[in-house]
Amino acid sequence: MCRGFDKLRKEEIISSIFCQGGLTTPRSQRRGGVHSYAMIQHCEFMVTREVDATRSLVFDAWTKLEHLKEWMLPMGLPLTAANIDLSVGGMYHYGLRGTDGRDIWGKWVFREIATPRKIVFVVSFSDSQGDTSRHPFSPAWPLEELATVDLTESHCQTSMRFSLSPLNGQRIEIQAFKDGHDALELVWGEMFDRLQAYLATLSGSRV
């Protein structure tokens, strides 16, 4: 199992956001949305949340820079740079400023974009130029991970299913992915809370 949060540096939790999994851990309702976690097929991590927003608005929140800047902030670290090319093969590239002043870079490379119901992208750490790099704190984390966002709308409410799994991972990487479950829950749970609060401020708007 991973170390307790009190023994983890903030950047270690943040940087492990895209490279971890765990056992099934249910969650109760939060801020009006059902938030649940699951571990399937031993290595895929899945989060499902119900949000009070239209599917098109939630899709935009995942794919438009002005929205990503408001909620995709692991542990609330400040964003230092961000740009997006929303096309197959395009990239969302961003930088975060760590508490010690160092920059942490990451990227999503889009594989599938089915507006407004599905997004598939490859997640990895990177350098400032957008080249793929290893986890800055643990080289055992998977170099790349496959993320899928599925959105289903019913009566102006959207079911958001997010899944994450190692991409072409070696045995040691898959084990590291599993062992990071606690940090994954913490960071994604906080960001989805932030997303839900942000969507509430946009209710009734069209973007």
Per the prediction, the chain carries an average pLDDT of 82
Predicted local distance difference test score (pLDDT) of residue 156? 81
Query: Is residue 119 included in any domain, yes or no?
Result: yes
pLDDT band at residue 37 using 50, 70 and 90 as cut-offs: very low
Top-confidence residue, 169 or 93 = 93
pLDDT band at residue 13 using 50, 70 and 90 as cut-offs: low
pLDDT of residue 64 exceeding 50, the answer is yes
This prediction has a pTM of 0.80
pLDDT of residue 36 exceeding 60, the answer is no
Q: How many CB atoms lie within 10 A of CB 59?
A: 25
Range of the domain at 127: 5-201
Query: Is residue 122 included in any domain, yes or no?
Result: yes
**CATH assignment at residue 114:** 3.30.530.20
Predicted local distance difference test score (pLDDT) of residue 100? 86
Query: Is residue 207 included in any domain, yes or no?
Result: no
What's the number of domains the chain is made of? 1
